[in-house]
Amino acid sequence: MKLKLIPLILASSVLLPGCFEEKAKEAAAPAAPAVSKEDAVASVNGTYISKKTLETLEKEIAERSQGQTFPKEQLLEELIQRELLIQQAVQKQLDKSPEVIERMATVRNSLLSQAALQDYLKANPVTDEEIKAEYDSKMANMGSEYKARHILVKTEDEAKKLIAELEKGGDFTALAKKHSIDPMGSEGGDLGWFTADRMVPPFSEAVVALENGKFSKQPVQTQFGWHVILREESRALTPPPFDSVKEQIRPMLQRQKAQTMIENLRKNAKVEVLLPPTPPKQEEAQPAAPADQAAPAPAPAPAAEATPAEPASAAPNADIKPAEPAATAK
Protein backbone atom coordinates (compact mmCIF):
# COMPACT_ATOMS: atom_id res chain seq x y z
CA MET A 1 0.00 0.00 0.00
CA LYS A 2 1.38 3.39 -0.95
CA LEU A 3 1.15 5.92 1.87
CA LYS A 4 0.38 9.50 0.97
CA LEU A 5 2.34 12.42 2.41
CA ILE A 6 0.92 15.25 4.48
CA PRO A 7 2.65 18.12 2.68
CA LEU A 8 0.62 21.07 3.94
CA ILE A 9 0.97 20.12 7.57
CA LEU A 10 4.37 18.50 7.82
CA ALA A 11 6.32 20.35 5.17
CA SER A 12 5.37 23.78 6.47
CA SER A 13 5.19 23.27 10.20
CA VAL A 14 7.06 20.12 11.14
CA LEU A 15 9.26 18.74 8.39
CA LEU A 16 11.65 21.62 7.71
CA PRO A 17 11.84 22.96 11.28
CA GLY A 18 12.46 19.39 12.39
CA CYS A 19 15.42 19.11 10.05
CA PHE A 20 16.92 22.38 11.24
CA GLU A 21 16.23 21.52 14.84
CA GLU A 22 18.10 18.23 14.65
CA LYS A 23 21.03 19.68 12.73
CA ALA A 24 21.14 22.69 15.08
CA LYS A 25 21.51 20.33 18.00
CA GLU A 26 24.31 18.48 16.23
CA ALA A 27 26.13 21.66 15.22
CA ALA A 28 25.88 23.67 18.43
CA ALA A 29 25.05 21.27 21.25
CA PRO A 30 26.20 17.90 22.61
CA ALA A 31 25.09 14.98 20.49
CA ALA A 32 21.76 13.42 21.42
CA PRO A 33 21.90 10.00 23.08
CA ALA A 34 22.14 7.16 20.59
CA VAL A 35 18.87 5.39 19.85
CA SER A 36 18.87 1.67 20.47
CA LYS A 37 17.03 -0.79 18.28
CA GLU A 38 14.66 -1.61 21.15
CA ASP A 39 13.60 2.08 21.37
CA ALA A 40 13.27 2.54 17.60
CA VAL A 41 10.31 2.42 15.23
CA ALA A 42 12.37 2.32 12.03
CA SER A 43 15.92 2.25 10.71
CA VAL A 44 17.07 4.31 7.72
CA ASN A 45 20.49 3.32 6.38
CA GLY A 46 21.47 2.28 9.89
CA THR A 47 20.09 5.37 11.63
CA TYR A 48 17.30 4.62 14.08
CA ILE A 49 14.14 6.73 14.43
CA SER A 50 13.03 6.63 18.05
CA LYS A 51 9.60 5.97 19.48
CA LYS A 52 9.88 9.33 21.23
CA THR A 53 10.30 11.11 17.90
CA LEU A 54 7.11 9.51 16.56
CA GLU A 55 5.19 10.39 19.74
CA THR A 56 6.38 14.00 19.54
CA LEU A 57 5.33 14.25 15.91
CA GLU A 58 1.89 12.81 16.75
CA LYS A 59 1.43 15.43 19.46
CA GLU A 60 2.59 18.30 17.22
CA ILE A 61 0.27 17.27 14.41
CA ALA A 62 -2.71 17.03 16.79
CA GLU A 63 -1.98 20.51 18.16
CA ARG A 64 -1.39 22.15 14.79
CA SER A 65 -4.37 20.54 13.08
CA GLN A 66 -6.82 21.22 15.93
CA GLY A 67 -7.12 17.63 17.10
CA GLN A 68 -7.05 15.94 13.70
CA THR A 69 -5.07 12.69 13.82
CA PHE A 70 -3.29 10.56 11.22
CA PRO A 71 -2.38 6.87 11.19
CA LYS A 72 0.95 6.06 12.82
CA GLU A 73 2.09 4.41 9.59
CA GLN A 74 1.54 7.66 7.71
CA LEU A 75 3.45 9.70 10.28
CA LEU A 76 6.26 7.16 10.36
CA GLU A 77 6.58 7.36 6.58
CA GLU A 78 6.98 11.13 6.95
CA LEU A 79 9.78 10.61 9.49
CA ILE A 80 11.51 8.10 7.21
CA GLN A 81 11.40 10.51 4.30
CA ARG A 82 12.63 13.31 6.55
CA GLU A 83 15.61 11.18 7.62
CA LEU A 84 16.37 10.38 3.97
CA LEU A 85 16.42 14.10 3.18
CA ILE A 86 18.65 14.82 6.17
CA GLN A 87 21.13 12.15 5.10
CA GLN A 88 21.10 13.53 1.56
CA ALA A 89 21.76 17.04 2.85
CA VAL A 90 24.63 15.91 5.07
CA GLN A 91 26.14 13.85 2.24
CA LYS A 92 26.21 16.98 0.10
CA GLN A 93 27.55 19.00 3.06
CA LEU A 94 24.59 21.35 2.94
CA ASP A 95 24.74 21.47 6.73
CA LYS A 96 28.02 23.36 6.36
CA SER A 97 26.63 26.11 4.11
CA PRO A 98 26.46 29.56 5.77
CA GLU A 99 22.74 29.92 5.06
CA VAL A 100 21.82 26.61 6.68
CA ILE A 101 24.13 27.20 9.65
CA GLU A 102 22.54 30.58 10.24
CA ARG A 103 19.04 29.17 10.06
CA MET A 104 19.94 26.29 12.40
CA ALA A 105 21.34 28.80 14.87
CA THR A 106 18.10 30.77 14.70
CA VAL A 107 16.06 27.65 15.45
CA ARG A 108 18.39 26.71 18.31
CA ASN A 109 18.17 30.17 19.85
CA SER A 110 14.40 30.12 19.60
CA LEU A 111 14.25 26.72 21.31
CA LEU A 112 16.59 27.83 24.08
CA SER A 113 14.68 31.05 24.76
CA GLN A 114 11.42 29.09 25.01
CA ALA A 115 13.10 26.51 27.23
CA ALA A 116 14.32 29.26 29.59
CA LEU A 117 10.81 30.64 29.95
CA GLN A 118 9.27 27.21 30.45
CA ASP A 119 11.89 26.36 33.05
CA TYR A 120 11.17 29.59 34.96
CA LEU A 121 7.40 29.06 34.88
CA LYS A 122 7.87 25.46 36.01
CA ALA A 123 9.88 26.69 38.98
CA ASN A 124 7.50 29.60 39.61
CA PRO A 125 4.03 28.31 38.70
CA VAL A 126 0.91 30.44 38.88
CA THR A 127 -0.93 29.36 42.01
CA ASP A 128 -4.67 29.10 42.56
CA GLU A 129 -4.30 31.79 45.22
CA GLU A 130 -2.78 34.20 42.68
CA ILE A 131 -5.57 33.47 40.20
CA LYS A 132 -8.23 34.08 42.87
CA ALA A 133 -6.57 37.35 43.92
CA GLU A 134 -6.53 38.56 40.30
CA TYR A 135 -10.17 37.55 39.88
CA ASP A 136 -11.20 39.39 43.06
CA SER A 137 -9.28 42.49 41.97
CA LYS A 138 -10.93 42.59 38.56
CA MET A 139 -14.40 41.82 39.86
CA ALA A 140 -14.17 44.52 42.54
CA ASN A 141 -13.69 47.14 39.82
CA MET A 142 -16.38 45.98 37.44
CA GLY A 143 -18.62 48.94 38.24
CA SER A 144 -22.12 49.42 36.86
CA GLU A 145 -24.01 49.25 33.62
CA TYR A 146 -26.71 51.58 32.42
CA LYS A 147 -29.91 51.52 30.40
CA ALA A 148 -30.54 54.72 28.48
CA ARG A 149 -32.26 56.38 25.56
CA HIS A 150 -31.06 59.30 23.52
CA ILE A 151 -32.18 61.69 20.81
CA LEU A 152 -29.49 62.62 18.30
CA VAL A 153 -29.83 65.84 16.27
CA LYS A 154 -27.50 67.92 14.13
CA THR A 155 -27.45 71.22 16.04
CA GLU A 156 -27.34 72.46 19.62
CA ASP A 157 -30.43 74.61 19.06
CA GLU A 158 -32.47 71.55 18.03
CA ALA A 159 -31.34 69.73 21.17
CA LYS A 160 -32.25 72.71 23.38
CA LYS A 161 -35.75 72.85 21.88
CA LEU A 162 -36.24 69.14 22.62
CA ILE A 163 -35.09 69.65 26.23
CA ALA A 164 -37.62 72.45 26.56
CA GLU A 165 -40.38 70.14 25.31
CA LEU A 166 -39.33 67.44 27.78
CA GLU A 167 -39.42 69.93 30.63
CA LYS A 168 -43.02 70.70 29.66
CA GLY A 169 -43.85 67.00 30.00
CA GLY A 170 -43.07 65.79 26.49
CA ASP A 171 -42.71 62.04 25.94
CA PHE A 172 -39.05 61.12 25.38
CA THR A 173 -39.78 58.03 23.30
CA ALA A 174 -42.17 59.87 21.01
CA LEU A 175 -39.73 62.76 20.53
CA ALA A 176 -36.92 60.33 19.71
CA LYS A 177 -39.02 58.58 17.08
CA LYS A 178 -39.92 61.92 15.51
CA HIS A 179 -36.63 63.83 15.65
CA SER A 180 -33.63 61.53 16.20
CA ILE A 181 -31.31 60.96 13.25
CA ASP A 182 -29.78 57.92 14.97
CA PRO A 183 -30.74 54.45 13.62
CA MET A 184 -32.26 53.68 17.04
CA GLY A 185 -34.57 56.63 16.74
CA SER A 186 -37.27 54.35 15.36
CA GLU A 187 -36.98 52.39 18.64
CA GLY A 188 -37.48 55.52 20.70
CA GLY A 189 -33.73 56.02 21.07
CA ASP A 190 -33.37 52.84 23.17
CA LEU A 191 -29.69 51.87 23.61
CA GLY A 192 -30.33 48.91 25.90
CA TRP A 193 -27.83 48.02 28.62
CA PHE A 194 -24.18 49.10 28.28
CA THR A 195 -21.11 49.89 30.36
CA ALA A 196 -19.73 53.42 30.36
CA ASP A 197 -16.61 52.43 28.45
CA ARG A 198 -18.71 51.26 25.50
CA MET A 199 -19.61 54.85 24.68
CA VAL A 200 -17.60 57.88 23.63
CA PRO A 201 -16.42 59.83 26.70
CA PRO A 202 -18.76 62.87 26.56
CA PHE A 203 -21.78 60.59 26.21
CA SER A 204 -20.76 58.13 28.94
CA GLU A 205 -19.82 60.94 31.34
CA ALA A 206 -23.27 62.46 30.91
CA VAL A 207 -24.97 59.09 31.50
CA VAL A 208 -22.96 58.42 34.67
CA ALA A 209 -23.72 61.90 36.02
CA LEU A 210 -27.49 61.51 35.59
CA GLU A 211 -29.87 59.92 38.09
CA ASN A 212 -32.19 57.11 37.08
CA GLY A 213 -35.29 58.50 35.38
CA LYS A 214 -33.64 61.88 34.64
CA PHE A 215 -32.73 63.43 31.29
CA SER A 216 -29.84 65.76 30.46
CA LYS A 217 -30.67 69.43 31.01
CA GLN A 218 -27.95 70.53 28.60
CA PRO A 219 -27.23 69.13 25.14
CA VAL A 220 -24.28 66.71 25.01
CA GLN A 221 -21.94 67.08 22.04
CA THR A 222 -19.98 64.21 20.49
CA GLN A 223 -18.40 63.72 17.08
CA PHE A 224 -21.79 62.34 15.95
CA GLY A 225 -23.85 65.40 16.77
CA TRP A 226 -25.87 66.71 19.73
CA HIS A 227 -27.59 64.36 22.17
CA VAL A 228 -30.40 64.58 24.67
CA ILE A 229 -30.00 61.62 27.03
CA LEU A 230 -32.44 59.84 29.33
CA ARG A 231 -30.92 57.47 31.88
CA GLU A 232 -33.63 54.94 32.64
CA GLU A 233 -31.93 52.44 34.96
CA SER A 234 -28.57 51.30 36.34
CA ARG A 235 -27.32 48.19 38.08
CA ALA A 236 -24.11 46.64 39.38
CA LEU A 237 -22.43 44.29 36.96
CA THR A 238 -22.71 40.62 37.86
CA PRO A 239 -19.27 38.96 37.79
CA PRO A 240 -18.87 35.63 35.99
CA PRO A 241 -18.36 32.57 38.21
CA PHE A 242 -14.72 32.07 39.21
CA ASP A 243 -14.52 28.57 37.75
CA SER A 244 -15.72 29.82 34.35
CA VAL A 245 -12.83 32.29 33.96
CA LYS A 246 -10.09 30.64 36.02
CA GLU A 247 -8.31 29.16 33.00
CA GLN A 248 -8.55 32.48 31.16
CA ILE A 249 -6.68 34.22 33.97
CA ARG A 250 -3.88 31.65 34.32
CA PRO A 251 -2.09 32.33 30.96
CA MET A 252 -2.35 36.07 31.58
CA LEU A 253 -0.55 35.71 34.91
CA GLN A 254 2.00 33.40 33.30
CA ARG A 255 2.75 36.09 30.71
CA GLN A 256 3.10 38.67 33.47
CA LYS A 257 5.55 36.46 35.37
CA ALA A 258 7.55 35.78 32.22
CA GLN A 259 7.65 39.50 31.40
CA THR A 260 8.87 40.32 34.90
CA MET A 261 11.57 37.67 34.61
CA ILE A 262 12.76 39.11 31.27
CA GLU A 263 12.73 42.67 32.63
CA ASN A 264 14.87 41.59 35.59
CA LEU A 265 17.33 39.88 33.26
CA ARG A 266 17.47 43.02 31.12
CA LYS A 267 17.99 45.23 34.17
CA ASN A 268 20.93 43.17 35.43
CA ALA A 269 22.57 42.66 32.03
CA LYS A 270 25.14 44.84 30.34
CA VAL A 271 23.44 45.72 27.06
CA GLU A 272 24.91 47.98 24.39
CA VAL A 273 22.63 48.82 21.47
CA LEU A 274 24.76 49.27 18.34
CA LEU A 275 21.93 49.87 15.90
CA PRO A 276 21.78 53.57 14.99
CA PRO A 277 18.45 55.21 15.86
CA THR A 278 15.91 55.47 13.08
CA PRO A 279 15.46 59.12 12.05
CA PRO A 280 11.89 60.38 12.53
CA LYS A 281 9.77 60.51 9.41
CA GLN A 282 8.72 63.87 8.10
CA GLU A 283 4.97 63.49 7.89
CA GLU A 284 2.32 66.04 7.28
CA ALA A 285 0.36 66.95 10.37
CA GLN A 286 -2.91 65.08 10.54
CA PRO A 287 -5.99 66.29 12.41
CA ALA A 288 -6.45 64.61 15.76
CA ALA A 289 -8.62 61.52 15.60
CA PRO A 290 -11.75 61.33 17.72
CA ALA A 291 -11.39 59.64 21.09
CA ASP A 292 -13.36 56.65 19.84
CA GLN A 293 -12.77 55.58 16.27
CA ALA A 294 -15.48 52.93 16.09
CA ALA A 295 -18.47 54.63 14.50
CA PRO A 296 -21.60 52.59 13.92
CA ALA A 297 -23.06 52.19 10.46
CA PRO A 298 -25.05 53.27 8.59
CA ALA A 299 -25.69 56.47 10.56
CA PRO A 300 -23.82 58.01 13.53
CA ALA A 301 -24.56 56.81 17.03
CA PRO A 302 -22.71 57.15 20.33
CA ALA A 303 -22.02 53.47 20.87
CA ALA A 304 -18.47 52.26 20.28
CA GLU A 305 -18.33 48.67 19.11
CA ALA A 306 -14.70 48.06 20.08
CA THR A 307 -13.90 45.99 23.15
CA PRO A 308 -12.89 48.24 26.07
CA ALA A 309 -9.14 48.61 26.54
CA GLU A 310 -7.58 46.60 29.32
CA PRO A 311 -5.70 48.46 32.09
CA ALA A 312 -2.02 48.86 31.32
CA SER A 313 -1.03 46.98 34.45
CA ALA A 314 -2.90 43.92 33.31
CA ALA A 315 -1.82 43.73 29.68
CA PRO A 316 -1.87 41.25 28.12
CA ASN A 317 -5.08 40.32 29.84
CA ALA A 318 -7.75 37.67 29.79
CA ASP A 319 -11.08 38.64 28.37
CA ILE A 320 -13.07 38.44 31.59
CA LYS A 321 -16.63 39.43 30.91
CA PRO A 322 -19.54 39.93 33.29
CA ALA A 323 -22.17 37.24 33.44
CA GLU A 324 -25.17 37.84 31.24
CA PRO A 325 -28.28 38.94 33.17
CA ALA A 326 -31.22 36.56 33.22
CA ALA A 327 -33.31 39.05 31.28
CA THR A 328 -32.28 42.25 29.51
CA ALA A 329 -34.84 45.00 29.33
CA LYS A 330 -35.16 46.72 26.01
Mean pLDDT, the chain, integer: 81
Q: Residue range 190-207: average pLDDT?
A: 95
Return the ∠ at Cα 213 (arms to 211 and 214), rounded to 5°. Answer: 60
- Please list the residue range(s) of the chain that carry CATH number 1.10.8: 37-96
Average pLDDT over residues 98-109: 95
pLDDT band, residue 30 (cuts 50/70/90): low
When pLDDT is cut at 50, 70 and 90, the band that residue 308 belongs to is very low
> How many other β-carbons are positioned within 10 Å of the β-carbon of residue 210?
19
Q: Which residues lie across from 235 on neighbouring strands? A: 145
Q: Exposed, middle or buried, 74 (CB in 10 Å: 0-12/13-18/19+)? A: middle
Model pLDDT, residue 23: 42
Pairwise pLDDT comparison (32 vs 120), residue with the higher score: 120
Q: Quick one: which of 94, 89, 104 has its CA closest to 26?
A: 104
- Continuous segment of H or E residues that includes residue 222: strand 220-222
pLDDT for res 302: 45
Asked if 239 contacts 139 with a C-beta cutoff of 8 angstroms, the reply is yes
Predicted pLDDT at 155? 97
* pLDDT tens-digit readout, 153-176: 999 999 999 999 999 999 999 999
pLDDT tens string 32-74: 678 889 999 999 999 999 999 999 999 888 888 877 778 999 9
Average pLDDT, integer, range 308-314: 33
Contacts of 18 (CB under 8 A, 6+ apart): 57, 82
Band (pLDDT 50/70/90 cuts) for residue 31 is low
| Nearest-10 crossing angle of helices 16-28, 98-123 | 90
- Please give the average per-residue pLDDT across 180-198, as a whole number: 94
Q: What are residue 291's phi and psi, to 5 degrees? A: -60, -35
CA distances from 56 to 18, 81, 107, 111 (A): 11, 16, 17, 15
Q: Give me the architecture of the 144-236 domain, per CATH.
A: Roll (3.10)
Lowest mean pLDDT among 10-19, 77-86, 146-155: 10-19
- Between the alpha carbon of residue 185 and those of residues 26, 83, 149, 152, 202, the distances in Å are 70, 68, 9, 8, 20
CB atoms inside a 10 Å sphere around CB 121: 16
Out of 1.20.58, 1.10.8, 2.60.40, 1.10.3470, the CATH code matching 37-96 is: 1.10.8
Rounded percentage of the chain residues whose pLDDT exceeds 70: 76
